[in-house]
Amino acid sequence: MTAYQLLVSGLEQLDLPVDPQAVDKLLRFSDYLLEKNKVMNLTAVTDPQEVVTRHFLDCAALVPYIKEGQTVLDVGTGAGFPGMPLAILCPGAQFTLLDAQSKRIDFLTEVAAMLGLANVTPVHARAEEFAAAHRASFDLATSRAVAELRVLCELALPMVKKGGAFYAMKAADCEDEVGSASQAFAILGAPAAELLRYTVPHDGVERVLVRLQKTADTPDKYPRRFKKIQTNPL
Ligand code: SAM
């Protein structure tokens, strides 16, 4: 199957609408990602079919949880995952794509301009520093492949509004990681983790969205400095 066919059929398998404009933008993003990947380190994936399955269809599993008008922060977005495909698939929501590496943010700025995405704001910053001016500012946060949950929650949850949620994309066998983060969840204001399981279409890989609904404010002392977060996780 071509990348186009995989993408259309994968979106259908996820019960998502297939908007021709969004499909075109995703495939242009993929082409540019693979072209730029030859001269800078953006992704381990090297063929267009794998970009569709391992990046686009994996990230598309989050689409049903994003509502029109919501603000979404993608922590440690790297080359734009899950934030960029979500911004293309959810044009009615606003996405802030945050990463500590300026070259990746420059790349995402170019992609947003090339595709005319008015709902994407790439930001070069460390999450624990960005949080100081953006406490309780986003309806949702997302993150994939950035850090273990105890660390990740301290980076992301302070920036989520009370009543909002943080979706951490994890491997199917994440139960121990979730279990060891239960104290962190409670301290940071999102005590109950839900595990939403899904299978990536055409890849067959099982994955989990760890959903943390924020029910209380995060105490002002979090996030701490990154060294402290790492050496003494909650
Ligand atoms: N989320 C992307 C994905 O799934 O392909 C990228 C994953 S990459 C392995 C991890 C990214 O997280 C890197 O681009 C790194 O710069 C970023 N990162 C790690 N710690 C961070 C922090 N404290 N604040 C902002 N970005 C961070």
pLDDT in tens, 85-135: 999 999 999 999 999 999 999 999 999 999 999 999 999 999 999 999 999
Mean pLDDT calculated for residue range 203-215: 97
Dihedral of CA atoms 226, 207, 165, 11 in degrees, nearest 10, equals 130
141 Cα: distance to centroid of ligand 1 (angstroms): 14
Which pLDDT does position 106 carry in this prediction? Answer: 98
206 C-alpha to ligand 1 centroid (Å): 22
CB 94 within 8 A of CB 117: no
Cβ–Cβ < 8 Å for 57, 201: yes
Does 101 sit in the ligand 1 pocket, CB within 6 Å?
Answer: yes
Report pLDDT digits (tens) over 158-184. 999 999 999 999 999 999 999 999 999
Q: Which two tokens stand for residue 74?
A: 């993608």
Ligand 1 binding pocket mutation candidate from 99, 107, 230 (most atoms within 8 A of CB): 99
Ligand 1 mean position to 69 CA, how many Å? 25
- Which residue's CA is minimally distant from atom 10 of ligand 1? 146
96 in contact with ligand 1, CB cutoff 6 A: no
Given its phi and psi angles, is residue 189 left (phi above 0), alpha (psi -120 to 50 degrees) or beta? left
Mean pLDDT, range 48-57, rounded to an integer: 98
Cβ–ligand 1 distance for 146 under 6 Å, the answer yes
CA 210–ligand 1 middle distance (angstroms) = 18
Q: Does the C-beta of 167 come closer than 6 Å to ligand 1?
A: no
Q: For the stretch 121-159, what's the b/e string if a residue is b when 16 or more beta carbons lie within 10 angstroms of its beta carbon?
A: bbbbbebbebbeebbbbbbbbbbbebbbbbbbbbbbbbb
Looking at the CA of residue 226, tell me the nearest atom of ligand 1. Answer: 23
Summarize pLDDT for 82-97 with one digit per residue, the tens: 999 999 999 999 999 9
Token match 């520093």: residue?
Answer: 129
Statement: the pTM of the whole predicted model exceeds 0.85: yes
Q: Ligand 1 in contact with 128 (CB < 6 A)?
A: yes
- Ligand 1, atom 12, lies closest to the CA of 76
